[in-house]
Amino acid sequence: MTDAELRQSCHTVLPGHRQQTPADLFYAMAAWCQQHHIAHDIYGDGELIQAFEAKIAALLGAEAGVFCITGTMTQVTALRVACAERGSRLVALHPTAHIFKHERGNHQLLGHFDALHIGDPHRPWTLDDLKAIPDKLGAVVLELPAREIGGQCPSWDELQAIKAYCHAQRIHLHMDGARLWEVASAYGKPLHEICAGFDSVYVSLYKGIGGLGGAVLLGKRPFTNVAAEWFRRSGGNIIHRSPYIVAAAMQFDARLAAMPLYYRRTLELYDMLRAFPKLTPNPDWPQANLLHVHMPVSRERAIDLRVKVAQQHGIWLFNRASPAQLPGHCYTEWYVGDNLMALDDARLRSALALWCNEL
């Protein structure tokens, strides 16, 4: 039995949202399209997509937004355009940035820009880290929240200081906001206030929102117009964007409305974890409804216990596990979503106890 089949067989799944079958999702999309009289766009020209781009731009306080088929294409394109505008090919990124860890060197091999590391791998980079770079930067990337370090974010005051410095130094400040929707509750600020001061923002239409895929790039209209041309040059000019827009738009408002509830549930989870010292959360206090849980066992042992608990108890504890810095330790990522919202405290404590008993 594959991991996906084993997870599907469980009556209780802890991380993330309930996974819809393709049939359920496509049925819901068809019903929404019929209800709202949706027509296909043609190469991005259509009422639905343009209204949705404008809606996200207004929500984030941006002048314009443009859809792109993948986040990978969105971000390297945004940074390429930013570097051309600022007269420097150099971009500073956190060592755990998605571009470094998951994109197979595309920025370098395809000639988009030159990159260097900023900050420590285990915490968000700081204004002092930025000031320590002697080179003329075209752009710097700030991920909110930073997934690979457990959803950490800079403090609000630090974030404002970074914005002011980049503006004064004419450094293009780009946000990797793949999970931006998740940080507003922790900051206690509206999304447009978080985004104010960024020259460009990328948001995902499936991470957190639950769509089929796709992304939106936000910024000044001349900037997004140039980016859109590069999306076409890069092979992103698909004839119909409507399936991706429908899948996101039909649940967008409900997902955003649920984010404060997910964060509140994350706070409750942190309180519960105090009774299970073998499960150590990172960060030590949630900065989004996303966290890492560290375990005092190897990755292989963690996977074995996950399978055992799933087979014997019908409980899916976590998805992937990764080796941690300390030998004999590992960690997993938890996204607090619909699954934990639907699970009462007693059953959650019981699941955590099962997990700890196997460690």
Q: What is the pLDDT of residues 230-267, one digit of tens each?
A: 999 999 999 999 999 999 999 999 999 999 999 999 99
Tokens found for residue 16: 């993330």
Q: End of a domain among 206, 240, 274?
A: 240
Q: Is the bond into 145 cis (omega within 30 degrees of 0)? A: yes
Residue 123 lies in a domain: yes
Does 259 share its domain with 148? no
pLDDT tens digit sequence for 7-16: 999 999 999 9
Half-sphere exposure of 309 (CA within 13 A, CB side): 24
Q: Is residue 209 part of a domain?
A: yes
Residue 13, in any domain of the structure? yes
Tell me whether residue 27 is in a domain: no
Neighbouring CB atoms inside 10 A of 326's CB total 9
> Which range has the worst mean pLDDT, 108-112, 161-165, 270-274?
108-112
DSSP class of 275 = T
Q: Are residues 266 and 179 both part of a single domain?
A: no
Residue that finishes a domain, picked among 240, 262, 293 = 240
Please tell me the predicted confidence (pLDDT) of residue 189: 97
Q: Are residues 213 and 316 in the same domain?
A: no
As a whole number, mean pLDDT of residues 264-275 equals 97
Number of domains in the chain: 2
327-355 burial string, b = 16+ CB within 10 Å, else e? eebbbbbbbbbbbbeebeeeebeebbebb
* CB-CB contact of 287 with 186 (8 Å): yes
Average pLDDT over residues 116-132: 97
Give yes or no: residues 143 and 230 share one domain.
Answer: yes
Q: How confident is the model at residue 1 (pLDDT cuts 50, 70, 90)?
A: confident
- Summarised one tens digit per residue, pLDDT across range 81-102 is 999 999 999 999 999 999 999 9
Angle, helices 345-357/299-313, rounded to nearest 10 degrees: 130
Six-digit token pair at 351? 């699941």
Interatomic CA distance for residues 124 and 209, integer angstroms: 24
Q: Are 118 and 145 in the same domain? A: yes
Both 141 and 280 in a single domain? no
Is the domain of 217 the same as that of 260? no
Same domain, 70 and 133: yes
Over the stretch 33-65, which tens digit does the pLDDT of each residue have? 999 999 999 999 999 999 999 999 999 999 999
Residue reference for tokens 């067989």: 9
Q: Is residue 110 part of a domain?
A: yes
Q: Whose structure tokens read 């910024």?
A: 219
**Cβ-proximal residues to 145 (8 Å cutoff; 6+ apart), any chain:** 151, 152, 153, 179, 182, 183, 287, 288, 290
Measured distance CA(171)–CA(136) in Å, rounded: 8
% of the chain at pLDDT higher than 70: 100
pLDDT for position 242: 96
Structural element, H or E, at residue 200: strand 200-204
Distance CA 290, CA 334 (A): 6
**Is residue 343 in a domain?**
yes
Identify the domain boundary among 240, 272, 303.
240
CA–CA separation, 191 and 313 (whole Å): 40
Residues 126 and 204 in one domain: yes
What CA dihedral angle connects 129, 130, 136 and 142, to 10 degrees?
120
Choose among 72, 101, 80: nearest CA to 214: 72
pLDDT for residue 109: 87
- 235 and 289 both lie in a single domain: no
pLDDT, mean of residues 308-330: 96
Range 214-223 average pLDDT: 98
294 and 183 part of one domain: no
Q: What is the mean pLDDT of residues 316-322?
A: 96
| Residue 29 is assigned to a structural domain of this protein | no
Residue-number span of the structural domain to which 84 is assigned: 38-240
Listed residue (128, 138, 205) closest to 162, CA to CA: 128
Give yes or no: residues 121 and 229 share one domain.
Answer: yes
Kindly report the CATH number assigned to the domain that includes residue 349.
Answer: 3.90.1150.10
Q: What is the pLDDT of residue 19?
A: 86
Average pLDDT value for the chain = 96
Q: What is the CATH number of the domain that holds 110?
A: 3.40.640.10
Residue 247 resides in a domain: no
Residue 118: predicted pLDDT: 97
Q: What was the pLDDT predicted at 60?
A: 98
